[in-house]
Structure 1
Amino acid sequence: MKNQSNLAESTVIAPEVVSKKTNFFTKFKTSYGPGILAVLTWLGAGDLVTSSVAGADYGYSLMWILALSLILRFLIVNVIARFQLCNTEGLTILEGYGRIHPFFGYFMFGYALIMGHLFNAYMIKGAGEVLSTLFQVNQPFLASLVVVGLVFMLIGRNIYNRIESVMKVLLALLTIAFLFLAIQATPDVGQIIKGTVGFSIPSDTGVHGALLVAISIIGAVAGSISNFVHPYFMKEKGWTKPSHVKVQRNDLLFAIGVCIVINLAIWVVGAEILKPNGIHVETIDDLAMALQMSLGQFGWYIFYLGVFGVLFASIVGKSTGFPRLIVDAFYVINKNRREKYNGKYEKDPMFKWIMIFVLVTPLIWSIPGMPGFIALTIGVNAINIIGFPVIAIGMLVLSNKKSLMGKYKNNWFENIILTLASVLAIWSAVQLATTFF
């Protein structure tokens, strides 16, 4: 799309050697970037809802799930990035999966197509509910139609860059508000530490079961297919060689650090403000209560405008990012089509049709009578765990292929962590199946 190509053209290629005379801000600007874009893709309604629900319903007892998921996210995304930078044949990560067995290509194609639909389902529904509340029209379905129409008209147009900047400002205001509330609430550090090393699932006390919330956190963070977008951002930045491994790793560490701060702030607000007041997060209005109680009507507006910014930007991101991922997976299945369009997704008519699919079909979830935004968000992120075993096991096999990775194949620590991730993924999928059936 036009805005994507502009991003690629305007991005400064990372130099392999940075001059010692370069000051910190110049070095940061030229050396970092994909991690920030990844944060904007990762952080969305999933993190906002799962962290606040976990805090409001279970205090800090599930904090270990978030800590473990963030560690796994860093290691998994770092291995994915290193594969793309260092494999001897210049394969994309999805092409690498296809080398293991044709099953992976078919699975990733179907999985990405389904999850692209479901991710947009709860975000479009949430954006409709927020817009309906802001304008006090009580027509969330019509508001969802308006949101989809706006996204459809704005994608690829120059005006979207300005609108995207506004949405990022709203996201920044929401983040600052949550950080302010978290600090003001004087969190119990002892309980946070205890919850981080607790390794237990508490009894169900909230509206949403503790096990379902735990699986949803794992699905939203460690097992998210959104982790696969990072290599695309690296490519746009110009990080394509083994010499970029170090700067990529540092950039990713920075991104994970930002995720930790924001998720922790949201969690603290749930545990220290919502929980003591007996507020369970069943609707988006319950989540708004934290800012409204502390900051009044001003906080109410910051929350709803910020959430709308998060959701709108995420809808655009998913509607342009997932088609790229899906088409790339299809090219693994059909190599002739990749050659026909020279691997340029935007020139393939399939790209536009998939974009329409992941943007328009989720509207069925906004029809009156369908599950609410909070329930749908938790459910979709829990279902996201289904693909985690395939992703983790495939990555374990792929990153140890000496014929592809040479000296850059996994070390023993990474193999242990990926093995544990595979076990956690299988356990989560089994628990999810048991919960539903």
Structure 2
Amino acid sequence: MADTTQTDAVGSENHAPRKASWRSIGPGIVVAATGVGAGDLVATLLAGSKFGYTLLWAAVIGCLVKISLAEAAGRWHLATGRTLFDGWHSLGSWTTVYFAGYVVVWGFVYGAAAMSSSALPLAALFPGTMDLKLWAVLCGLAGLVFVWFNRYAVFEKVMTVLVGVMFLVTVYLAIRVTPRLDAAFAGLAPVLPDGSLVYTLGLIGGVGGTITLAAYGYWVNAKGWTNTSWMKVMRLDNRVAYFTTGIFVVAMLIVGAELLHSSGVALAKGDKGLLDLSAVLEEHYGRATAKLFLVGFFATSFTSLIGVWHGVSLMFADFAAKFRPSLVPAGTNPARSLPFRVYLLWLTFPPISLLFLDQPFGLIVVYGVIGALFMPFLALTLLWLLNSSRTPAQWRNGLLSNAMLGAAGLLFVVLCVQQLWELLR
């Protein structure tokens, strides 16, 4: 897989830069939609409910951090003609050991979480029709069938439609609760109220921050962008996507600040907190608004599910190809390869067992540890790769990129320590 991409990139290196067009936007929307899940909605709502608009600045900084990380991943793919896993592999065998453990354990637990998250709004929209666990199984199977049989172009279009639903619903809710613009602008000033540090770090580091940031370069290649002539297009795509995410996050924080903070309503932690919000919306604005929110909730959760099913399976196919190139023959579509489909099945069927059993404590601890380590791993390895001779001199990091990736790495190390401390407690 990597060798084919490299040939395309080197052979096309002298192509003139492509014109950055709005019609070209796609992979950025996919990565942003996949990274923002129901858990991010709850985190943003809780921050708004506890501190009003005070932490709005943290949400904005969080989007800038994600822009820098996704841009770095995309730049590596386009500038070198090599995949991100190929870059990690060049840093030593320790990266392979970590990634192998990560995709196996993380995929097992995440599969169950993604299915449950997608099932919650469906069970609320159609009460009494089916058990929540069966809704979850159907969501997982639907994601499997959709990704298995559709090519990237169809996948991107469906993701874009679902993002549009998410966007319209959240912006509508933000307008409906009548935001106080003076308070919102005041929230752009960096302030840390007492007890807000964890929420601040979560807003900066958590919204849209998952392994799917690493998958961005793979979606860039799947789009057909394979060399530096696409660099301007990729950067526009990335910025527009995370600008959209920024509006999405700000809208949810407004809902938390206006609807929950002012009335002192508390939400449950986790995805079920969104069901609490649905009940609050129905009480204040009627059943239609509550149902509309549940549709947006489903769009948010299901984009994360099918995004991971597609993007992380691409990464696993690349991982497998490093050890058995015959598994992904040169010139073939990795999304039609055996490793891609094996990982799709891994994300779907083994996690179903977790839906019907109490999740083993030991597994959850391992999942939490390797998950907490991934974002520091991504930020710091990108910093390493893009400042080394592995990257052509023209496309290595400048001062701004180094500052952003360095700050992201430091932030994620702090978040990692905080999450590990919570696990140990």
Q: Output the TM-score relative to the length of structure 1.
A: 0.80
CA RMSD between the two structures: 3.4
1:359 and 2:348 correspond: yes
Measure the CA separation in 1 of the matches of 2:148 and 2:319.
23
Rate the CA distance shift 1:267–1:417 in 2: closer, same or farther, 3 A.
Answer: same
Shift of 1:400: 0.5
Measure the CA separation in 2 of the matches of 1:382 and 1:345.
29
Q: Which residue of 1 aligns with 2:406?
A: 419
Kept after mapping to 1: 8 A contact 2:62/2:204 = yes
Q: Which deviates more, 147-156 or 49-58?
A: 147-156
Measure the CA separation in 1 of the matches of 2:354 and 2:207.
23
Shift of 1:199: 4.9
* SS of corresponding position for 2:267: coil
**Residue correspondences, number:** 401
Residue type matched to 1:66 in 2? Answer: A
Q: What are the Cα deviations for residues 303-323 of structure 1, in whole angstroms up to 9, with x where unaligned?
A: 222322332333222222212
Kept after mapping to 2: 8 A contact 1:219/1:383 = no
Q: Which residue of 2 aligns with 1:431?
A: 418
Q: Which residue of 2 aligns with 1:181?
A: 173
Residue type matched to 1:202 in 2? Answer: D
Shift of 1:184: 3.7
Kindly report which structure 2 residues correspond to 1:196-235, keeping only aligned pairs within 5 A, or say none.
196-200=188-192, 202-203=194-195, 211=198, 213-221=199-207, 223-235=209-221
- Residue among 29, 39, 51 paired with 1:36: 29
Q: Which deviates more, 289-298 or 97-106?
A: 289-298
- Residue among 100, 116, 122 paired with 1:109: 100
* SS of corresponding position for 2:391: helix
1:246 and 2:261 correspond: no
Rate the CA distance shift 1:331–1:343 in 2: closer, same or farther, 3 A.
Answer: farther
1:262 and 2:253 correspond: no
Shift of 1:52: 1.6
Residue type matched to 1:127 in 2? Answer: S
Measure the CA separation in 2 of the matches of 1:386 and 1:103.
13
Measure the CA separation in 1 of the matches of 2:134 and 2:86.
41
Kept after mapping to 1: 8 A contact 2:313/2:340 = yes
Measure the CA separation in 1 of the matches of 2:168 and 2:328.
47
1:392 and 2:379 correspond: yes
Rate the CA distance shift 1:275–1:132 in 2: closer, same or farther, 3 A.
Answer: same
Residue type matched to 2:22 in 1? Answer: F
Shift of 1:341: 6.5
Q: What are the Cα deviations for residues 36-82 of structure 1, in whole angstroms up to 9, with x where unaligned?
A: 23333233323322212221233233334322221111111111111
Q: What are the Cα deviations for residues 163-222 of structure 1, in whole angstroms up to 9, with x where unaligned?
A: 997886565344323212313434344444444433536327xxxxx62x4454445336
Kept after mapping to 2: 8 A contact 1:173/1:302 = no
Measure the CA separation in 2 of the matches of 1:306 and 1:165.
17
Measure the CA separation in 1 of the matches of 2:307 and 2:314.
11
Q: Which residue of 1 aligns with 2:113?
A: 122
Shift of 1:269: 0.5
Residue type matched to 1:351 in 2? Answer: F
Q: Which deviates more, 424-433 or 337-346?
A: 337-346
Q: Which residue of 1 aligns with 2:77?
A: 84
Kindly report which structure 2 residues correspond to 1:155-166, keeping only aligned pairs within 5 A, or say none.
155-157=147-149
Residue type matched to 2:212 in 1? Answer: S
Rate the CA distance shift 1:58–1:381 in 2: closer, same or farther, 3 A.
Answer: farther
Measure the CA separation in 2 of the matches of 1:386 and 1:128.
28
Measure the CA separation in 1 of the matches of 2:248 and 2:369.
21
Measure the CA separation in 1 of the matches of 2:320 and 2:292.
41
Rate the CA distance shift 1:195–1:112 in 2: closer, same or farther, 3 A.
Answer: farther
Measure the CA separation in 1 of the matches of 2:210 and 2:390.
28
* SS of corresponding position for 1:402: coil
* Aligned residues with identical type, % of pairs: 24
Measure the CA separation in 1 of the matches of 2:358 and 2:124.
18
Query: Gapped runs of 5+ residues in structure 2?
Result: 1-14
Q: Which residue of 2 aligns with 1:281?
A: 267
1:141 and 2:157 correspond: no
Rate the CA distance shift 1:342–1:66 in 2: closer, same or farther, 3 A.
Answer: same
Q: Which deviates more, 229-238 or 252-261?
A: 229-238
Rate the CA distance shift 1:66–1:118 in 2: closer, same or farther, 3 A.
Answer: farther
Measure the CA separation in 1 of the matches of 2:178 and 2:111.
35
Q: Which deviates more, 62-71 or 151-160?
A: 151-160
Q: Which residue of 2 aligns with 1:55?
A: 48
Rate the CA distance shift 1:189–1:101 in 2: closer, same or farther, 3 A.
Answer: farther
Measure the CA separation in 2 of the matches of 1:351 and 1:157.
12
Rate the CA distance shift 1:41–1:222 in 2: closer, same or farther, 3 A.
Answer: closer
Kindly report which structure 2 residues correspond to 1:377-388, keeping only aligned pairs within 5 A, or say none.
384-388=371-375
Measure the CA separation in 2 of the matches of 1:272 and 1:95.
47
